[in-house]
């Protein structure tokens, strides 16, 4: 649907008229409008005054923090490197910065329709993740080596997030295919695994990977704690994503499989050339939702002892001089999460609407 300028102004006029009618049509509606908008405006005023007008910005002015009623952003000015990069060596922070930019760029690029084919997305994410890993680890690029123990803050959160999505997506597809298989043992295996993992809290799964697996595995298979947790988290992601794929599979008419078979195509040809491209399209909005939820859920790794952005935030106000300013640090971290999650979520909503129109 394309709109001309005249159309737009007319629609705006209609909207304003309807807004007046709905918001101020009766005396009661007017009173509610005034109260709610007044309350919202007052809250916004309080927030702006606290966060901007009365705030202290620079770390040098920390002495003034006691006098003002506003926020003391000095703590962010002084400690933002700790929050963003954890205990990563200070002089190597340019590497963390670039690595984080690589992951964020990967996520943003995936949102463009030009990237929407399985191959392009796979290449994009593998390249983005590899860039991150090479920069952070360093030894392969001839830089100073920093092992995963030294990673932290937002950089670690982004690492966990991208590794989980990258590993979990093919696992989810595999589980979804297994669940649709004609072979009863394969189907049962996928069903039990998916339902089992989905009934347990994420924390239980991650805790099992971190603490229980070393007992169950022979020592040569144990690996690093961080990789065990990533694989378990990816399995969790895969079990939910498999259900997303399953829903998308159900939207594909059965006749298409049969048409493929009648043409003499094998199982893998039917899947990769005929069915999966459509499945990915149908699954896109729910997949974005899953990715957003995964990013939010990474915050839980603080409990099993990782130095993620929430843990580094706690460390940032942990020292005596900054401890009164815990509120500013938490709000800073909450704002980081909020911006990521809100924008991705809105994008998912927009996509859902667009696809609903295309389907009509």
Partner 1 sequence: MDMTTTEDLRARSRRRKLIIQTLLLAVTVIAILGAVRSAQQNLAALGITSGFGFLDRATGWDYSFSLVERSIDDPYWRTLLVGFGNTLFVGFVSIFLSTILGLIIGTARDSAHPAINAAATVYVQIFRNIPLILQAVFLYSVLIHFPGPRQAVTIADAVFVSNRGLMMPGLNLSLGVALGLLLTLLALAVALILRKVPLLRGFGIWLATSVLLCAVTAVVLRPEGGTILSIPELKGLRFVGGITVPVELVAMITSITLYGSAYIAEVVRGGLNQVPRGLTEAGQALGLSPGAIWGRIKVPMALRSIVPPLGNQWIFIMKATTIGIAIGYSDLFYIVSNSITQSGQTLELIFLLMAAFLLVNFSIALFVNWLNARLQLKAH
Closer Cβ to partner 1, 20 or 144, answer by number: 20
Binding segment toward partner 1, per CB under 8 A, in 26-34, 56-64, 167-175, 252-260: 26-34
Q: Answer whether 11's CB lies under 8 Å from 3's CB.
A: yes
Output Rg (C-alpha) for the chain, integer angstroms.
25
Candidate residues 204, 281, 289, 352; the one interacting with partner 1 per rule CB under 8 A: 204
Task: Report in angstroms how near the CB of residue 55 gets to partner 1 at its nearest.
Answer: 18
> What is the DSSP secondary structure assignment for residue 88, as one 8-state letter?
S
Closer Cβ to partner 1, 1 or 185, answer by number: 185
Nearest to 207 by CA among 331, 269, 300: 300
> How far from 294 is each of 56, 164, 238, 345, CA to CA, in Å?
35, 8, 11, 12
Whole-angstrom distance, CA of residue 240 vs CA of residue 203: 15
Cβ count within 10 A of residue 157: 31
Tell me if residue 305 falls in helix, strand or coil: coil
Binding segment toward partner 1, per CB under 8 A, in 4-12, 94-102, 105-113, 183-191: 183-191
Q: Does 302 bind partner 1 (CB under 8 A)?
A: yes
Q: Does 200 bind partner 1 (CB under 8 A)?
A: yes
Contacts of 252 (CB under 8 A, 6+ apart): 275, 278, 279, 282
Strands (E), the chain: none
Q: Does 185 bind partner 1 (CB under 8 A)?
A: yes
Task: Report in angstroms how near the CB of residue 285 gets to partner 1 at its nearest.
Answer: 14
Q: Does 217 bind partner 1 (CB under 8 A)?
A: yes
Task: Report in angstroms how near the CB of residue 241 gets to partner 1 at its nearest.
Answer: 16
Q: Does 201 bind partner 1 (CB under 8 A)?
A: yes
Task: Report in angstroms how near the CB of residue 262 gets to partner 1 at its nearest.
Answer: 14
Task: Report in angstroms how near the CB of residue 257 gets to partner 1 at its nearest.
Answer: 16
Residues in region 35-54 near partner 1 by CB under 8 A: 35-37, 39-40
Whole-angstrom distance, CA of residue 329 vs CA of residue 309: 11
Task: Report in angstroms how near the CB of residue 123 gets to partner 1 at its nearest.
Answer: 30
Candidate residues 14, 17, 41, 212; the one interacting with partner 1 per rule CB under 8 A: 212
CA 314 to chain centre: 21
Task: Report in angstroms how near the CB of residue 28 gets to partner 1 at its nearest.
Answer: 10
Binding segment toward partner 1, per CB under 8 A, in 142-150, 167-175, 192-200, 249-257: 192-200
Candidate residues 27, 113, 142, 218; the one interacting with partner 1 per rule CB under 8 A: 218
Candidate residues 110, 131, 148, 208; the one interacting with partner 1 per rule CB under 8 A: 208
Binding segment toward partner 1, per CB under 8 A, in 80-88, 116-124, 207-215, 233-241: 207-215
Whole-angstrom distance, CA of residue 275 vs CA of residue 292: 26
Task: Report in angstroms how near the CB of residue 149 gets to partner 1 at its nearest.
Answer: 22
Question: Residue 264: left if φ>0, alpha if ψ -120 to 50, beta else—which one?
Answer: left
Q: Identify the burial level of 242 via C-beta atoms within 10 angstroms of its C-beta, where 0-12 means exposed, 13-18 middle and 19 or more buried.
A: buried
What is the size of the binding site for partner 1 (CB under 8 A)?
51
3-state DSSP percent of the chain in helix, strand and coil, to 5: 80, 0, 15
Whole-angstrom distance, CA of residue 250 vs CA of residue 272: 16
- The residue ranges that bind partner 1 (CB under 8 A) are 19, 22-23, 29, 32-33, 35-37, 39-40, 182-186, 189, 196, 199-204, 207-208, 211-212, 214-218, 296-297, 299-300, 302-303, 310, 314, 326-327, 330, 333-334, 337-338, 341-342, 345
């Amino acid at each position: 649907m394309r709109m001309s300028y005249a159309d737009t102004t007319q629609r705006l006029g209609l909207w304003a008229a309807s807004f007046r009618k709905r918001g101020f049509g009766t005396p009661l509606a007017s009173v509610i409008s005034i109260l709610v908008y007044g309350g919202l405006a007052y809250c916004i005023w309080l927030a702006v005054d606290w966060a901007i007008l009365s705030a202290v910005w620079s770390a040098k002015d920390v002495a003034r923090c006691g006098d003002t009623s506003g926020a003391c952003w000095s703590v962010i000015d002084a400690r933002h490197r700790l929050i963003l990069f954890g205990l990563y060596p200070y002089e190597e922070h340019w590497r963390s910065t670039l690595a984080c930019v690589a992951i964020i760029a990967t996520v943003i690029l995936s949102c463009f329709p030009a990237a929407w084919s399985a191959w392009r997305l796979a290449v994009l994410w593998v390249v983005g993740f590899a860039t991150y890993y090479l920069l952070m680890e360093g030894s392969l690029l001839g830089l100073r080596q920093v092992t995963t123990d030294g990673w932290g803050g937002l950089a670690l959160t982004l690492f966990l997030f991208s590794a989980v999505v990258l590993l979990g997506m093919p696992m989810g597809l595999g589980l979804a295919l297994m669940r649709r298989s004609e072979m009863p043992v394969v189907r049962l295996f996928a069903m039990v695994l998916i339902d089992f993992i989905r009934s347990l809290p994420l924390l239980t799964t991650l805790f099992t990977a971190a603490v229980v697996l070393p007992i169950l595995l022979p020592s040569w298979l144990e690996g690093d704690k961080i990789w065990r947790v990533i694989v378990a988290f990816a399995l969790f992601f895969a079990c939910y994503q498999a259900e997303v794929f399953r829903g998308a599979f159900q939207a594909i008419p059965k006749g298409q499989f049969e048409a493929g078979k009648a043409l003499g195509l094998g199982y893998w040809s039917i899947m990769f050339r005929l069915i999966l491209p459509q499945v990915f399209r149908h699954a896109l909005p729910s997949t974005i939702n899953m990715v957003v939820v995964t990013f939010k859920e990474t915050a839980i790794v603080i409990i099993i002892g990782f130095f993620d952005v929430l843990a580094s935030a706690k460390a940032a106000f942990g020292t005596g001089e900054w401890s009164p300013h815990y509120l500013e640090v938490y709000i800073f971290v909450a704002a980081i999460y909020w911006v990521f999650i809100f924008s991705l979520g809105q994008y998912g909503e927009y996509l859902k609407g667009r696809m609903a129109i295309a389907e009509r």
